[in-house]
Amino acid sequence: MLRFQKCTTKLRLGKPPSSSASNAFGRYNSSGGKAGLHSTTTHNKCSSSQLLLDFRSANNMGANKYNARATRRSSLAVHTNVRGFQSSRFLMESTPGPSSSASVSDQTLFHPSRSMISKDFKDLDKQLRSDVKAMGSILGETIKHFSGHDIFDKIETLRFSAKAWREAGAGRDASQQAACDTAFKSMSQTAASLSSQELKTASRAFAHFCAIANAAEYHHRSRRNDHKLAMYAINEGKNRAAALGPDADSCGGVIPHLLEKENCTPKQIYDSLVTQQVELVLTAHPTEVNRRTLLDKHRRIQYLLTEADELRSKGVVTKFQKKLLDDALKREIWLMWQSDELYRRKPSVQEEAERGTLVVETVLWEALPNFLRKLDATMMDTLGDEYRLPLEAAPFKISSWMGGDRDGNPNVTPNVTREVCLRNRIRAATLLKNDLTEIAGRLSTTFCNDELRAKVGTEARAPYRAYLAPMISKLALTILWAEQELEKVRKGNVPDEKIIDVDEIYLTKKQLMDEMLVLYKSLCDTGNHLTAEGKVLDFIRNLSAFGLTLCQLDVRQESTRHKEALDAITKYLGLGSYADWDETTKITWLQSELTSKRPLIRRSDWKDNSFFSDTVKDTLETFKMISEQHDDSLNAYVISQATSASDVLAVLLLQVDAGVKKPLRVVPLFETLDDLNGAAETMETLFSLPAYKGHINGKHEVMIGYSDSAKDAGRLSASWAQYETQEALAKVAKKHSIDLVFFHGKGGTVGRGGNPATFKAILSHAPDTINGKFRVTEQGEMIYQNFGHPDRAMRTLDIYTAAVCAEKHTERARPTPEWRALMNKLSEISCAAYRRIVREDERFVPYFRSATPELELSQLNIGSRPAKRNPTGGVESLRAIPWNFAWTQTRHNLPTWLGVGEAVKEVLESNDADKLRTMYKEWGSFRTTIDLVEMVLAKSEPSIARHYEELLVKDPKAKELGSHIRSLHNETEAAVLDLANHVSFCETNELLTRVLHVRNPYVDCSNILQAEILKRLRNCNNAEEEATLKDALLISITGIANGMGNTG
């Protein structure tokens, strides 16, 4: 049973606490007891999304670490009337009692009890608690000032009832059931007593508190990392570079471990680090619920917290400095409260692409070369001075699906993809031009080597500036060319006099790289190594990583669209129906056409021909668009719902027939359980075809779908299928001498293959399947959690680099035949149990639709694509994101644990119990899966889920199912705790337990409010009230997502 630390304050339910006693959010009690967050999280744990808003203005303000001070000063310099806060202070100060003065001082980042940095992390974590307490207090005063004392008191009544419910065991402690029921009833009654407008205001309050708590936690991650590095440098690494910390999931810790514990040589580690590559694919999955304008304010709050840390580190902070920062913090929270939390329309695909990839411009453009500089120093420090990172090393590559993923999204047309590719070129050329301009401004040197002098002539006084000037002009022309091409796409033509020839611009990164290497070499030849390894080196490394396209686009489409197109072509040509042919006939015909020198069909045959449907024309036009793209614009062609070898051959043929000179690599995506189980046979067939093998040059990529397979068969069964499939595919590839790369299609939630512990997740993959090449999706809120701030981005890059290197050289347990047999048994039991509920029980769909906000999620306007691939389909056609999103909102988290408990319980009660316990202890991959389920159970709350059911489910049979599901949840909790030998959830993860302990009451309140909102909304007949309730619902969704740390 999950145990929580109790607060010492006695609470009386039903009465709002006084203003002076409560001090709004972020406090445990009114007498100076525990307040705010107990601790922080490690990287990737229990955090919500972080997005850098208005990136363009952020660029001007200085969003990267090196001009962060300018950003902070800019925000501090804005003069805002703070009279409202003075009024609130007066109200608190006029209230007698010992808490009055504490309430005032709570609204500062410089609380007198705040400790200075020390060697004790518990003391350091007090800074986080103080930050959250200060911001919670400010938020409370903001609510009172702008929305009134009455609603503030009602919010506090709800919050105190939630805390009392948690203190009484939250329904998990039978000895306190009466107190628990009383507290829960108080929460429910308080929510029911609120007007629709008050429901909206209360939902806003809890959503904003979770958001500012996230901002503080994000900042505290960097604070802890900096502190650990400083302590290491002082105590152990006095003579070391200490560029990257000694953590077990950092390159600074992994490299020494591999040398000392795994008996690796420096050369082996070096070879791995300089040849491995992590490719992060940013996707348009709609899971970021926070508006950019609010997340920009959250970002500025983090910069203010950093500024406060810097001032405290100096030892003396003046009254003026304190006031400046405190007022700036209040200003952000004040403006945050007055902002609209909701997207009022769905973004276009172009807007979605720009929004999603701006993190590259504003963060990664600076963070990546800075990380590589640290990695270079760490390699020399640990391996030897001769082991330097090569000049053009590219251990990371950034790609994107935004603007190329047309699977089930009719808004992604060929012209949209053309636009996004051109926009990416404009943005890349702009960044490169700006950097070259800066470099030219710095290089006033008058001497160079003979090679560069020959290019600029003897008259050039500043040879490097003379050399760079035409390069800068050429990049300016590149921008202009792309803008004109964009105008062509939009309007269909461009005046002849504006046309720029492609010979006048940069089209490939090699063109620009060759010229930059001449400059770099000249600097080194003339003794200017230090200058060469500054901004020039950063430029070269960015060019290696991002090229002239910023991030290459994948194209994705479902296999049925290609079948439909080929079926129309064969019918038009009088060859019969491709769709009716068996697999052998399809393969024979496709191979024949691939080797034929005549075209299959000309564009003029189908473009204006009514014989071809609009969807077929769109598919064929997509391949025509691919043929037009210049090098590096596009990356891979991913086939979703791939089931056969003919699915892959079809895409290759359509590319070749459209005139694609260098066909994109074709990547089959195996998603469902059946597809995963048949993947090895499919690839065996493909690799045995001479016509196909001749096209792939000994390399291939396969995508593993984590989301849909888990939705299809349950998490445990899907995990085992993914593991075995990767093993089997690796064997097939080895047999045919194919270099196979796996593309891992993971989401943010555990139910979609996510794992907040990235390092452990990578090491849990089947051995011999990564081999230094790791391609993975990063989507929605995870992009900004991992890369939304320079420090977090560098930490994420460090973890990925360390994990891929460690995975290659660390000996890990492999499943024995006994373990495999046991996993097959577990998989079979869990899959049957999962499908028995989700697929076979006729009560399930009505229950799901009524007990969760699934139907309402489409109104969030957070993505351009529909929630379903098939608008008229049922749960089976629902995408994995809203499927997980809906269950996360109600704290049920059903997709992650359903089926696990039945399987574990049955085996534990059999003769295989000891084998199962041994497997959990000794096999890291299995233990990681079970530990993830345990973490999700810790974040689940059956009592909250039951409340949704009581308010929203009317069908008696559906209610019976709900009761059954909760009993299965209880059994799963018991089984998982038994297997893990734990008394309470995540008892070895102190940080997670503390964060949940603090956050739960706030998320509980959001849940209670959301259930009441849904109840009213589904029975509302008043248009004005319905609009208010819809806003309240969407805000509550955001609040719960912020509190839970993820969405879909």
- What is the rounded distance in angstroms from the CA atom of residue 469 to the CA atom of residue 459? 15
Positive/negative CA dihedral, 431, 433, 437, 439: positive
Structure tokens at 318: 């003046």
Q: What are phi and psi of 228, to 5 degrees?
A: -60, -40
Beta-strand (E) ranges in 679-772? 699-705, 739-745
> CA–CA separation, 349 vs 364, rounded Å?
22
- Which among 503, 482, 510 is positioned nearest to 629, based on CA atoms? 482
DSSP assignment string, 226-262 = HHHHHHHHHHT-TTS--SS---TTSHHHHHHHHHHTS
Catalytic residue list contains 285: yes
At 774, which helix (H) or strand (E)?
strand 773-779
1046 in Cβ contact with 48 (< 8 Å): yes
Which residue out of 133, 144, 219, 285 is catalytically annotated?
Answer: 285
User: Do residues 417 and 555 lie in contact, with contact meaning Cβ atoms separated by under 8 Å?
Assistant: yes
CA nearest neighbour of 404 among 423, 385, 379, 376: 423
Structure tokens at 132: 């959250």
Is the distance from CB of 679 to CB of 648 less than 8 angstroms?
Answer: no
| Residues 682, 586 contacting (CB under 8 angstroms) | no
Burial of residue 595 (number of CB atoms within 10 Å: 0-12, 13-18, 19+): exposed
Nearest 5°: phi and psi at 220? -70, -30
Q: Provide, for the chain, the percentages of residues in helix, strand and coil under a 3-state DSSP scheme, each rounded to the nearest 5.
A: 65, 5, 30
Six-digit token string for 21: 């006693």
Question: Which among 903, 875, 869, 902 has a CA at the least distance from the CA of 887?
Answer: 875
> CA-to-CA distance for 706 and 689, rounded, in angstroms?
28
DSSP run (H or E) holding 970: helix 956-980
Active site residue 455: no
Residue pair 88/184 in contact (Cβ under 8 Å)? The answer is no
d(CA 307, CA 885): 36
Q: Is 884 within 8 Å of 751 (Cβ atoms)?
A: yes
Residue 417: count of CB within 10 angstroms of its CB? 25
Q: Of the residues 126, 154, 586, 711, which is catalytic?
A: 711
Please say whether the beta carbons of 718 and 898 come within 8 A: no
- On whether the CB atoms of residues 25 and 139 are closer than 8 A, the answer is yes
Beta-carbon contacts of 737 under 8 Å, excluding residues fewer than 6 positions away, are 698
> Is 14 strand, coil or helix?
coil
Tokens standing for residue 859: 């109104």
d(CA 280, CA 282): 6
Distance CA 98, CA 96 (A): 7
By annotation, the residues acting in catalysis are 285, 711
